[in-house]
Amino acid sequence: MNWLDFGAALFGIAAAFLWFRSALAFPVMRTYWDLDGPPPDDHFGLALARAAEMNRWAALATGLSVFCVALKQAIDWWQG
């Protein structure tokens, strides 16, 4: 079951990388006085959306890593 160990390690590393990248410094948030909210090119809002997307992929990679570990344990238990 080396491929499951490899998959768990690969997905774990991917999750760590994605979470590290999503936690990097955000740009300075600007204050807006109009009632329409921030403009669509607001750097802080774009960075926040990008961080949320990276967190989504990191959570998926973590889930796949845990699935590989659990599947390996189940196969080892089943084979005795």
Q: What is the DSSP letter of 24?
A: S
In tens, the pLDDT along 18-62 reads: 888 887 776 676 666 666 777 777 788 788 888 888 888 999 999
Q: Give Cβ neighbours of residue 48 (< 8 Å, ≥ 6 apart).
A: 26
The verdict on residue 63 lying in a domain is yes
What span, in angstroms and rounded, lies between the C-alpha atoms of 60 and 68? Answer: 12
Q: Which domain holds residue 67?
A: 2-25+42-79
Is 37 a member of any domain?
Answer: no
User: CA 35 to CA 69: how far, in whole Å?
Assistant: 50
Q: What is the pTM of this model?
A: 0.69
Average pLDDT over residues 50-75: 91
How many structural domains comprise the chain? 1
The whole-angstrom separation of Cα 58 and Cα 7 is 14
The confidence score (pLDDT) of residue 65 equals 92
* pLDDT tens sequence across 3-22: 888 888 899 899 888 888 88
Q: Does 6 reside within a domain?
A: yes
Per-residue confidence (pLDDT) for residue 68, from 0 to 100: 92
Helix (H) or strand (E) holding 61: helix 43-79
